[in-house]
Structure 1
Amino acid sequence: MSVAEPRTIVLFRHAKADWPQVTDHERPLADRGRQDAAVAGRKLTDSGIAVDLALCSTATRTRETWKLAVHELPHRPKTVYEERIYEASPGELIALLNEVPDEVRNLVLVGHNPGIEGLAEVLSGTAEEDARERMTRRGFPAAAFAVLTFDGSWKSLEPGTASLVDYWAPSE
């Protein structure tokens, strides 16, 4: 693939987690989270994005979210479970994205707030239609995702270089 072709990043926050007596990293999804993760997968399918690679936090709730969402996609992309996503800042997430091979065109990053929301805000220099207004109004609740596009190599991704083209969040 040419580095001049547009690339897509889906920033996907894990679905609603439960609060049992376990460490934060091991928190599982709540019943509502399991439902919302599957719906988010269907919405991602509806977007028509053919995902090449998923980078997913190693936390239980993110792995469960992705397992339920990917089941709804027309094809299963390669998935890499990456511990650096857990508790990562937007800058740390950009550094991780800068390592993605240029053969990857469309990527999903499944992670946590405040990193995912902050990354969406930092990367999006522009926004189409009402995507930014919807994201600002709703915040970045559990199971929400933002779709951003940019031109160039993954190494060239930096603050303000992407365009926010879509945003979706489950109904409250």
Structure 2
Amino acid sequence: MSVAEPRRIVLFRHAKADWPQVNDHERPLAERGRLDAAEAGRRLADTGVSIDLALCSTATRTRETWKLAVHEFPHRPKTVYEERIYEAAPGELIALLNETPEDIRNVLLIGHNPGVQGLTEILAGSAEEEPRERLSSRGFPAAAFAVLTCDGPWKNVEPGTATLVDYWAPSD
């Protein structure tokens, strides 16, 4: 693959979690979260972005979200469960993206807020009008995702180097 071809980064927030008496890392999805995760998977599949690598937080709610979403994809990408995504700040997530092997074209990162929303806002140096307006009006609720494009090698992903080209969030 030529590094001149645009790469895609899909930033996906886990679906709505339940609040049982367990530690935060072990919180499962709520029923609404299970429905929204599957819908997000269908919407992601509809974008036509072929995911080569999924980086998923090790938290229960992110793993459950990913399992339900990926079921809707035409093919299952390689998935890496990454502890560093849990509670990560945007800079830490950029460092993780910078480690992506160069033969990977499209990456999906499934994690948590405020990191996922912050990363979207920091990376998007530009944006198509419609996705920017939807993101501005909705924020980054549970099960939302943003699709960004960027050029060059993964090690050059940094603030302002991507373009927001798509955004979706479940209806309230």
Which TM-score tier does this pair reach, normalised by the shorter chain? over 0.9
Deviation at 1:8, TM superposition (A): 0.2
Q: Deviations over 1:9-63 (max 9, x none)?
A: 0000000000000000000000000000000000001000010000000000000
Deviation at 1:129, TM superposition (A): 2.5
Q: Which runs of 5+ in 2 are unaligned?
A: none
SS in 2 for 1:16: coil
- What amino acid is aligned across from residue 97 of structure 1 in structure 2? L
Alignment RMSD, CA only? 0.4
Q: Deviations over 1:150-170 (max 9, x none)?
A: 000000000000000000000
Q: What's the TM-score, normalizing by structure 1?
A: 0.99
Aligned to 2:2: 2
- What amino acid is aligned across from residue 111 of structure 2 in structure 1? G
> Which stretches of structure 1, 4 residues or more, deviate above 2 A after TM superposition?
none
Aligned to 1:26: 26
Moved more, 125-134 or 23-32: 125-134
Q: Percent identity?
A: 78
Tell me, yes or no, if structure 1 residue 139 matches structure 2 residue 113: no
Aligned residues: 172
Aligned to 1:121: 121
Structural mapping, 1:71-150, within 5 Å = 71-150=71-150
Aligned to 2:38: 38
Q: Deviations over 1:52-81 (max 9, x none)?
A: 000000000000000000000000000000
- What amino acid is aligned across from residue 5 of structure 2 in structure 1? E
